[in-house]
Structure 1
Amino acid sequence: MRGPTKTLVVAAVLIVGVVFGLNGCDSREPAGMAAKPVRIAFVPKVAGIPYFEAMNTGGQAAAKQLGVEWTSVGPVTVDPAAQASIVRGLVDQRVDVIAIAPNDPKAMAPVITDARAKGVHVITSDTDAPNSDRELFVNQATPDGIGRALTDALMLKMGGAGKYAIVSCGETAENLNAWIAVQRSYTATRYPRAQLVETVYAGEDKDTAAALAKDLMVKHPDLTGLVGECTTSAPGVAEAVRTQQKIGRVFTVGVGTPQAIKPYLLDGSASLSVLWNVESLGYLTAWAGKQIADGKPLDRTNKVNLELPAIKFDPTTKTVLLGDPLLITRENVDQFKY
């Protein structure tokens, strides 16, 4: 897919300057004046999709409660170069903390190194850049937890046998690729009569995901399962099953936001969504950013708020974990408003 134009990228970076009102100035206050609040900038994989908007909502809620400033600025498509340009702009604006969901961990690593060298704290959230100088990863759930939950949900509908395919999003996304690796190995060991026949990539575009899912059903006429590996491809594969009139013959599961996947849960074109509380992930990201900026060490178990009373921290991998994945069904989907 084509990335955003140079104008769009520059505009996004300029917006950051307006939001924070920094104009490149030093963040330190003269003696005797109150310190400015910690400024946290979240850079999602892509701007404007419901998933990252929900994370932004959670971050904004945390900002009000914690007394920090929070903003979200992302590229208009899943473009690693555009995302890196936004991060560089934020470094130039002297924000305190940048929280990134990297599209390409390898491409982002030198950008993170540069940010740290210039005194800007960097954490990752939603997806990691493990071989970088990031200081912390805010993880929504373990790869094993997500990969096994997706596989078990699909196999329940497929009777533990048959062929299925995956429609993923960014080809270099660390989190998605980790989940897919679990699905592949778990299928082979737990469900030997099932086979993952192909994985394709749709970027972060529902229509592209639907088109690829249709192609997969043509290419593999005996296909009985599809996985939408991200929040745009989950409704995309279900839409393809719906329009091809294969409800009840081809089953779909995915990582879909509740209200986006709800119509498909209701008509049976999607069987289940495996997710987590996305707003809580945004809240936890803001909280973690403030801890890093304030120089506060994390405990192995941390009370963030009443809803997040026991957040685990692994000092070896420098990872905080939101918790176990949620199973979203037609019965509980309306508990979530995003």
Structure 2
Amino acid sequence: MPAFPQSTTTTHTAISVPPALSLPVIEREFPRQLHPYWPRLQEKTRAWLLEKRLMSPDKVEAYADGLCYTDLMAGYYIGAPDQVLQAIADYSAWFFVWDDRHDRDVIHGRPEAWRRLRRRLHTALDSPWDHLHHRDPLVAGFADSMVRLYSFLGEGWNVRFADDFHAVIEAYDREFRNRTEGIVPTVDEYLELRRMTFAHWIWIDLLEPSAEYELPAAVRQNSAYRRASLLCQDFAAWYNDLCSLPKEIAGDEVHNLGISLIHHEGMRLEEAVKEVRRRVEECISEFLDVEKEVLRYADRIDSGSVRGAELADAVRACLFNMRNWFSSVYWFHHESGRYMVDSWDDRSTPPYVNNEAAGEK
């Protein structure tokens, strides 16, 4: 079926989803949304990648639009002010480039290069204004993203976001060591690590500037709100595992739920795929249940005061975009060239990777 049944945009036409990856409940119950700023978003993020030298001009020209990074964010943060969505989309594009640099440092055996980058990112996260002109484009681009993201809400949100991303950097370091040493984490270890390397709390944090409201801790820690948050991100991470399993097996990856199930639970590939799919479908059904709880919680917050009404509206906006994460992630994996392994000349080397920017000579 078309990803955007009512769209007049020729970029989004009917998409064929392989049966093993098809989720009729997503296509039926989670209508896809797209922020109206998307065409401009795509154009400006492409220009930002060039300006910050995060991808070479030939790679940007050949692959940037087809990778659909802006589509993913434009389908998630509906209702965000244009400048907020632009900052998020640029940061998301940076994140994918960082992920590719991390991968190339593993593949080419560059532990010192990775350790140096890790240190620089930690430092830039705490003082991005001092790193806007760093000689490493990845550090400078990250600093630019942080300066912009830190400008939308208060200091409390900024500190929380920084703490959450420091943890993501350290999780990437654990993944680096696992891959270098050939360690396949157990299923439980993997699930814990995956919530960090997928940056669950980062994407959840960014719901707030999109809603133009910093949520109090009591709301963020509400059991229903927290469960809905985690379910939308777990769905995304595990569906990503399902879709990227061929790519990651080809690249000798050790971090994938399917790989952990095969290695530690003795499953055959077909059994592991079936189990990952079961977990993905469970996330969907549980979210549909807990979504109702969050809506009831928002109604209780909306007690008649102006502040209560504003807070309730912010909770509903965040929940709406948690729901949008399901459809946005689903279609992204079937549109983005990032997962079209069979079309690559070398199944272990993505054609969009900028080797020069990754430090290769």
TM-score by length of 2: 0.26
TM-score by length of 1: 0.28
User: Which protein has the bigger helix share?
Assistant: 2
Structure showing greater relative contact order (alpha-carbon pairs closer than 8 Å, 6 or more residues apart): 2
